[in-house]
A and B are shown apart, each in its own frame.
Chain A
Protein backbone atom coordinates (compact mmCIF):
# COMPACT_ATOMS: atom_id res chain seq x y z
CA UNK A 1 0.00 0.00 0.00
CA UNK A 2 1.14 3.49 -0.76
CA UNK A 3 1.49 6.45 1.51
CA UNK A 4 -0.05 9.62 0.11
CA UNK A 5 2.39 12.52 0.28
CA UNK A 6 1.18 15.34 2.52
CA UNK A 7 1.72 17.83 -0.32
CA UNK A 8 -0.42 15.81 -2.75
CA UNK A 9 -2.81 17.94 -4.79
CA UNK A 10 -5.95 16.10 -3.82
CA UNK A 11 -8.36 18.97 -3.26
CA UNK A 12 -8.38 22.69 -2.57
CA UNK A 13 -9.73 23.70 0.82
CA UNK A 14 -11.28 27.06 1.66
CA UNK A 15 -10.80 29.23 4.71
CA UNK A 16 -13.93 31.35 4.26
CA UNK A 17 -13.00 33.73 7.07
CA UNK A 18 -9.85 34.71 5.14
CA UNK A 19 -11.69 35.24 1.84
CA UNK A 20 -12.40 38.88 0.98
CA UNK A 21 -14.45 38.07 -2.17
CA UNK A 22 -11.81 39.85 -4.23
CA UNK A 23 -12.59 37.56 -7.20
CA UNK A 24 -8.93 37.09 -8.19
CA UNK A 25 -9.25 33.28 -8.12
CA UNK A 26 -12.45 33.44 -10.18
CA UNK A 27 -10.88 35.72 -12.78
CA UNK A 28 -7.65 33.72 -13.06
CA UNK A 29 -9.23 30.24 -13.20
CA UNK A 30 -8.57 28.95 -16.75
CA UNK A 31 -11.49 26.53 -16.47
CA UNK A 32 -14.08 28.97 -15.10
CA UNK A 33 -14.80 26.44 -12.32
CA UNK A 34 -14.97 28.86 -9.34
CA UNK A 35 -18.07 30.94 -8.63
CA UNK A 36 -18.34 33.59 -5.92
CA UNK A 37 -21.40 35.53 -4.79
CA UNK A 38 -20.95 38.39 -2.36
CA UNK A 39 -22.47 41.67 -1.28
CA UNK A 40 -21.20 44.83 0.42
CA UNK A 41 -22.17 45.88 3.92
CA UNK A 42 -21.46 49.15 5.66
CA UNK A 43 -19.77 48.92 9.04
CA UNK A 44 -19.89 51.92 11.32
CA UNK A 45 -17.06 52.18 13.79
CA UNK A 46 -17.07 54.53 16.77
CA UNK A 47 -14.94 57.55 16.04
CA UNK A 48 -14.71 56.88 12.31
CA UNK A 49 -15.64 59.78 10.08
CA UNK A 50 -17.75 57.60 7.79
CA UNK A 51 -18.90 53.94 7.61
CA UNK A 52 -16.54 51.37 6.11
CA UNK A 53 -17.72 49.17 3.22
CA UNK A 54 -16.83 45.49 3.58
CA UNK A 55 -17.49 42.62 1.17
CA UNK A 56 -19.43 39.72 2.68
CA UNK A 57 -19.04 36.29 1.10
CA UNK A 58 -22.42 34.72 0.31
CA UNK A 59 -21.31 31.67 -1.64
CA UNK A 60 -18.08 30.14 -2.88
CA UNK A 61 -18.32 27.16 -5.21
CA UNK A 62 -15.68 25.00 -6.86
CA UNK A 63 -16.91 22.62 -9.56
CA UNK A 64 -14.57 19.62 -9.19
CA UNK A 65 -16.06 18.16 -12.35
CA UNK A 66 -14.37 20.94 -14.31
CA UNK A 67 -11.33 21.75 -12.14
CA UNK A 68 -7.97 20.85 -13.68
CA UNK A 69 -6.14 21.11 -10.36
CA UNK A 70 -3.65 23.64 -11.75
CA UNK A 71 -3.52 25.53 -8.45
CA UNK A 72 -3.52 29.00 -10.00
CA UNK A 73 -6.31 30.01 -7.58
CA UNK A 74 -4.15 28.95 -4.64
CA UNK A 75 -1.20 30.92 -6.03
CA UNK A 76 -3.09 34.14 -6.73
CA UNK A 77 -5.07 34.36 -3.49
CA UNK A 78 -3.54 37.31 -1.60
CA UNK A 79 -5.07 36.18 1.69
CA UNK A 80 -4.18 32.46 1.70
CA UNK A 81 -7.86 31.56 1.79
CA UNK A 82 -7.22 28.55 -0.48
CA UNK A 83 -4.77 25.73 0.14
CA UNK A 84 -4.07 22.22 -1.07
CA UNK A 85 -5.03 19.16 0.97
CA UNK A 86 -4.26 15.53 0.06
CA UNK A 87 -7.94 14.43 0.34
CA UNK A 88 -8.98 12.27 -2.62
CA UNK A 89 -12.08 10.40 -1.48
CA UNK A 90 -14.97 12.55 -2.71
CA UNK A 91 -16.61 10.86 -5.70
CA UNK A 92 -20.22 11.85 -6.39
CA UNK A 93 -23.24 10.00 -7.77
CA UNK A 94 -24.10 12.93 -10.05
CA UNK A 95 -22.32 15.89 -11.62
CA UNK A 96 -24.09 18.31 -9.29
CA UNK A 97 -22.49 16.49 -6.34
CA UNK A 98 -19.06 17.63 -7.51
CA UNK A 99 -20.01 21.27 -6.95
CA UNK A 100 -18.81 22.03 -3.44
CA UNK A 101 -19.91 25.12 -1.55
CA UNK A 102 -18.38 26.88 1.45
CA UNK A 103 -19.32 24.26 4.06
CA UNK A 104 -17.98 21.33 2.06
CA UNK A 105 -14.79 23.17 1.03
CA UNK A 106 -14.12 24.10 4.66
CA UNK A 107 -14.57 20.46 5.69
CA UNK A 108 -11.41 19.61 3.77
CA UNK A 109 -9.78 21.24 6.76
CA UNK A 110 -6.68 23.27 7.55
CA UNK A 111 -3.44 22.67 5.67
Chain B
Protein backbone atom coordinates (compact mmCIF):
# COMPACT_ATOMS: atom_id res chain seq x y z
CA UNK B 1 0.00 0.00 0.00
CA UNK B 2 1.44 3.37 -0.97
CA UNK B 3 -0.07 5.44 1.82
CA UNK B 4 1.45 3.82 4.92
CA UNK B 5 2.22 6.76 7.15
CA UNK B 6 4.74 5.18 9.50
CA UNK B 7 4.80 5.69 13.25
CA UNK B 8 1.61 7.03 14.77
CA UNK B 9 1.40 10.68 15.74
CA UNK B 10 -0.51 12.20 18.69
CA UNK B 11 -2.66 9.97 20.88
CA UNK B 12 -6.26 9.44 19.85
CA UNK B 13 -8.26 10.54 22.91
CA UNK B 14 -10.88 9.87 23.91
CA UNK B 15 -10.44 6.63 21.98
CA UNK B 16 -13.92 5.79 20.71
CA UNK B 17 -14.66 9.42 19.79
CA UNK B 18 -11.37 9.70 17.90
CA UNK B 19 -12.11 6.50 15.97
CA UNK B 20 -15.66 7.73 15.25
CA UNK B 21 -14.25 10.96 13.82
CA UNK B 22 -12.08 9.05 11.30
CA UNK B 23 -14.86 6.63 10.42
CA UNK B 24 -17.09 9.64 9.70
CA UNK B 25 -14.33 10.93 7.41
CA UNK B 26 -14.62 7.77 5.34
CA UNK B 27 -11.92 5.64 6.99
CA UNK B 28 -14.43 2.90 7.64
CA UNK B 29 -12.38 -0.18 6.72
CA UNK B 30 -10.53 -1.79 9.61
CA UNK B 31 -7.19 -3.24 8.60
CA UNK B 32 -5.58 -3.75 12.01
CA UNK B 33 -6.39 -3.32 15.67
CA UNK B 34 -3.83 -4.70 18.09
CA UNK B 35 -1.84 -4.01 21.23
CA UNK B 36 1.82 -3.63 22.21
CA UNK B 37 2.94 -4.29 25.78
CA UNK B 38 5.29 -1.56 27.04
CA UNK B 39 6.35 -2.71 30.53
CA UNK B 40 9.15 -0.13 30.82
CA UNK B 41 6.66 2.75 30.76
CA UNK B 42 3.87 0.80 32.47
CA UNK B 43 1.59 1.15 29.46
CA UNK B 44 -0.21 -0.95 26.93
CA UNK B 45 -0.35 0.72 23.53
CA UNK B 46 -3.38 0.17 21.32
CA UNK B 47 -2.73 0.57 17.60
CA UNK B 48 -5.33 0.89 14.85
CA UNK B 49 -4.99 1.12 11.07
CA UNK B 50 -7.95 2.37 9.05
CA UNK B 51 -8.34 2.57 5.29
CA UNK B 52 -10.66 4.42 2.91
CA UNK B 53 -11.14 4.13 -0.82
CA UNK B 54 -11.50 7.55 -2.47
CA UNK B 55 -13.80 7.75 -5.49
CA UNK B 56 -10.80 8.79 -7.59
CA UNK B 57 -9.34 5.35 -6.89
CA UNK B 58 -6.44 4.04 -4.84
CA UNK B 59 -6.29 3.71 -1.07
CA UNK B 60 -5.75 6.16 1.74
CA UNK B 61 -5.00 5.12 5.27
CA UNK B 62 -4.53 6.46 8.76
CA UNK B 63 -2.78 5.07 11.82
CA UNK B 64 -3.98 5.83 15.33
CA UNK B 65 -2.85 4.84 18.80
CA UNK B 66 -3.56 5.33 22.45
CA UNK B 67 -1.98 4.30 25.75
CA UNK B 68 -3.64 2.39 28.59
CA UNK B 69 -2.57 1.94 32.19
CA UNK B 70 -0.83 -1.44 32.27
CA UNK B 71 -1.94 -2.14 35.84
CA UNK B 72 -5.65 -1.86 34.98
CA UNK B 73 -5.99 -1.51 31.22
CA UNK B 74 -9.45 -0.49 30.05
CA UNK B 75 -10.37 0.09 26.42
CA UNK B 76 -13.59 1.45 24.95
CA UNK B 77 -14.99 -0.93 22.35
CA UNK B 78 -15.36 0.40 18.80
CA UNK B 79 -17.50 -2.51 17.59
CA UNK B 80 -20.47 -0.13 17.27
CA UNK B 81 -18.53 1.81 14.64
CA UNK B 82 -16.54 -1.04 13.11
CA UNK B 83 -18.18 -4.45 13.54
CA UNK B 84 -14.97 -6.08 12.28
CA UNK B 85 -13.22 -4.86 15.45
CA UNK B 86 -15.07 -7.48 17.53
CA UNK B 87 -12.56 -10.32 17.04
CA UNK B 88 -9.56 -7.97 17.33
CA UNK B 89 -10.83 -6.70 20.67
CA UNK B 90 -11.47 -10.25 21.90
CA UNK B 91 -7.88 -11.11 21.00
CA UNK B 92 -6.52 -8.01 22.79
CA UNK B 93 -8.60 -9.02 25.81
CA UNK B 94 -7.30 -12.59 26.06
CA UNK B 95 -3.69 -11.97 24.97
CA UNK B 96 -2.97 -8.73 26.87
CA UNK B 97 -5.50 -8.81 29.70
CA UNK B 98 -7.20 -5.61 28.54
CA UNK B 99 -10.80 -5.09 29.67
CA UNK B 100 -12.94 -3.90 26.76
CA UNK B 101 -15.98 -1.92 27.86
CA UNK B 102 -19.08 -2.07 25.73
CA UNK B 103 -18.06 -5.20 23.83
CA UNK B 104 -21.10 -7.36 23.08
CA UNK B 105 -19.37 -10.74 23.45
CA UNK B 106 -15.95 -10.89 25.10
CA UNK B 107 -15.46 -14.70 24.99
CA UNK B 108 -11.87 -15.89 24.38
CA UNK B 109 -11.17 -16.02 20.66
CA UNK B 110 -8.22 -18.40 20.40
CA UNK B 111 -7.62 -19.81 23.87
CA UNK B 112 -9.85 -22.19 25.81
CA UNK B 113 -9.89 -19.79 28.74
CA UNK B 114 -8.48 -16.37 29.40
CA UNK B 115 -5.12 -17.37 30.79
CA UNK B 116 -3.67 -15.57 33.75
CA UNK B 117 -1.18 -13.99 33.31
CA UNK B 118 -2.02 -12.93 29.73
CA UNK B 119 0.31 -14.77 27.31
CA UNK B 120 1.47 -11.79 25.23
CA UNK B 121 2.50 -9.61 28.17
CA UNK B 122 6.28 -9.39 27.88
CA UNK B 123 6.86 -10.45 31.48
CA UNK B 124 4.73 -13.59 31.15
CA UNK B 125 7.11 -16.57 31.40
CA UNK B 126 6.94 -19.40 28.89
CA UNK B 127 6.25 -22.19 31.35
CA UNK B 128 7.88 -24.88 29.20
CA UNK B 129 11.14 -22.89 29.07
CA UNK B 130 11.10 -22.40 32.82
CA UNK B 131 10.61 -26.14 33.38
CA UNK B 132 13.21 -27.30 30.83
CA UNK B 133 16.92 -26.79 31.49
CA UNK B 134 18.77 -25.38 28.47
CA UNK B 135 21.01 -28.16 27.15
CA UNK B 136 23.63 -25.57 26.14
CA UNK B 137 24.18 -24.65 29.79
CA UNK B 138 26.09 -27.88 30.43
CA UNK B 139 29.86 -27.68 30.97
Instruction: Confirm or deny: B132 has a beta carbon within 8 angstroms of a beta carbon on chain A.
Output: yes
Give chain B interface residues in 83-109, CB to chain A under 8 Å. Answer: none
Instruction: Confirm or deny: A69 has a beta carbon within 8 angstroms of a beta carbon on chain B.
Output: no
Instruction: Confirm or deny: A35 has a beta carbon within 8 angstroms of a beta carbon on chain B.
Output: yes
Q: How many A-B residue pairs have CB under 8 A?
A: 20
Chain A residues with Cβ under 8 A from B134's Cβ? 32
Closest to B129 in A: A32
Instruction: Confirm or deny: A6 has a beta carbon within 8 angstroms of a beta carbon on chain B.
Output: no
In contact, A37 and B138 (Cβ under 8 angstroms): yes
In contact, A32 and B139 (Cβ under 8 angstroms): no
Instruction: Confirm or deny: A26 has a beta carbon within 8 angstroms of a beta carbon on chain B.
Output: yes
Interface size on A, residues (CB 8 A): 11
**A18-33 near B? 1/0 per residue, CB < 8 Å:** 0001010011010010
**B124-139 near A? 1/0 per residue, CB < 8 Å:** 0000000010111011
Q: How far is the CA of A81 from the CA of B11 in the complex (A)?
A: 55
Q: How far is the CA of A27 from the CA of B135 in the complex (A)?
A: 7
Instruction: Confirm or deny: A34 has a beta carbon within 8 angstroms of a beta carbon on chain B.
Output: yes
Q: How far is the CA of A34 from the CA of B138 in the complex (A)?
A: 12
What residues of chain B have their CB less than 8 Å away from a CB belonging to chain A? 132, 134-136, 138-139
Across the A-B interface, the 7 shortest Cβ-Cβ residue pairs: A27-B136, A26-B136, A35-B135, A26-B135, A32-B135, A23-B136, A23-B139
